[in-house]
Amino acid sequence: MGAVSPIPVLILLASGLHAQTPARPKFEEFEVAAIKPAPPNSPGRFLRMQSPNQFVARNHSVNTLIAAAYNLNPRMISKSPGWADSERYDILAKTPGNVRPNLEEQMAMLRKLLAERFKLTFHRERRELPIFALTVARSGLKLKESAAPPESFPEGPPPLIFVVSPVVIRLPARCATVAELAWVMQRSALDHPVVDRTGLSARYDFDLEFTPDETVFGGALGKGTDESTEPGLFGALQEQLGLKVAATKGPVDVMIVDRVERPRED
């Protein structure tokens, strides 16, 4: 997902009338959506709001769209056809009204799009899978609780987005939970589901920085350069946030794809 746009400021004229916040649309589905095959060899991949009412996904497979929409690690998707992983699509969609939907509202509309345009149907099964368990490190938690409550963000707290460069990867977080950190790691960075076993429910502000290596993002970024002094992801989580990641096995809800179709080209 892309960079977070500045929060719009509403300037009120003194009129003796009480200001009223515009009602938010329901954001149940996109008003219109164009889906096209991505150009061959397209670089990069993102999913974000490009303007207050324009949702864009670039160079995504159906499986990565499903993973984003349902907050899954791709390994938690079973029995989807081969083309759902190999073929890439671009999506340009208009959201209702002129109010920017928050991340959950965007994903709700994406889930509806997958059902209607890709004919996605599925059921879930509980399976024992390799996982990464996220716990508080023995050295103690190093996170500081957020000074800003969730309601201080008109469009919801900013989504967690990896900012990638060849030297260092940053994950800036504002008013984020540890569960949300686990979700973004399993969706984007790691090759197994990440299960939050910290028991933490507060919201935190932090800036995680780590050096890329072959264990993150499917090895697509390779090994970091000598210019970076930051540790890898697991080391950074422990040193900077006081969180530990351990490889183990555990029960996970797996999505079993019953049906999915290529969309009709617009």
Report CA Rg, the chain. Answer: 20
> Which segment of 1-10, 98-107, 156-165 scores lowest on mean pLDDT?
1-10
Angle at 120 between CA 119 and CA 122, to 5 degrees: 140
Task: State the pLDDT confidence band at 92, using cuts at 50, 70 and 90.
Answer: very high
Task: State the pLDDT confidence band at 14, using cuts at 50, 70 and 90.
Answer: very low
What is the share, in percent, of the chain residues with pLDDT greater than 90?
Answer: 63
What's the pLDDT score for residue 221?
67
Alpha helices (H) along 25-148: 62-70, 83-86, 103-117
**Mean pLDDT on 18-33:** 78
User: Is residue 195 classed as helix, strand or coil in its secondary structure?
Assistant: strand
Angle at 49 between CA 43 and CA 50, to 5 degrees: 70
**Closest to 120 (Cα-Cα) out of 252, 263, 254:** 263
Task: State the pLDDT confidence band at 228, using cuts at 50, 70 and 90.
Answer: low
Task: State the pLDDT confidence band at 109, using cuts at 50, 70 and 90.
Answer: very high
pTM above 0.95, yes or no: no
**Mean pLDDT on 128-150:** 94
Assess whether pLDDT exceeds 90 at residue 185: yes
Assess whether pLDDT exceeds 70 at residue 13: no
Q: Are 184 and 160 in contact (CB under 8 A)?
A: yes
Assess whether pLDDT exceeds 60 at residue 94: yes
**Residue spans per domain, the chain:** 32-125+255-259, 126-252
What's the pLDDT score for residue 45?
82
**Mean pLDDT on 238-243:** 97
What's the pLDDT score for residue 205?
96
Angle at 162 between CA 182 and CA 79, to 5 degrees: 60
What's the pLDDT score for residue 213?
86
Average pLDDT along the chain: 87
Assess whether pLDDT exceeds 50 at residue 6: no
Task: State the pLDDT confidence band at 226, using cuts at 50, 70 and 90.
Answer: low
Assess whether pLDDT exceeds 50 at residue 24: yes
CA 161 to each of CA 31, 36, 72, 77, 239: distance values in angstroms, whole numbers, following the listed order: 26, 25, 16, 22, 20
Assess whether pLDDT exceeds 60 at residue 18: no
